[in-house]
Amino acid sequence: MESQWLKLRVNGKERQLFVRPNALLLNVLRDELGLMGAKYGCGLGECAACTVLVNGRNMLACLILAVTMEGAEITTVEGMGDYDRLHPLQQSFLDNGAVQCGFCTPGMLLTAQALLEKNPDPSEEEIRDYLRGNLCRCTGYAAIVQAVKEVKHPA
- The pTM assigned to this predicted structure is 0.93
d(CA 90, CA 31): 24
Reference 109, options 97, 126, 123, 92; nearest CA is: 92
Q: Mean pLDDT across the chain, nearest whole number?
A: 94
Quick check: 155 pLDDT over 80?
no
Each residue's pLDDT tens digit, 20-74: 999 999 999 999 999 999 999 999 999 999 999 999 999 999 999 999 999 999 9
Q: What is the CATH number of domain 88-152?
A: 1.10.150.120
Quick check: 139 pLDDT over 80?
no
* Same fold for the pair 4-78 and 88-152: no
d(CA 105, CA 112): 10
Query: What is the structure's pLDDT at 140?
Result: 74
Element (H, E) at 53: strand 51-54
Show me where the domains of the chain are located: 4-78, 88-152
Confidence of residue 82 (pLDDT cuts 50, 70, 90): confident
Specify the fold of 4-78: Ubiquitin-like (UB roll) (3.10.20)
Query: What is the structure's pLDDT at 153?
Result: 56
Query: What is the structure's pLDDT at 138?
Result: 86
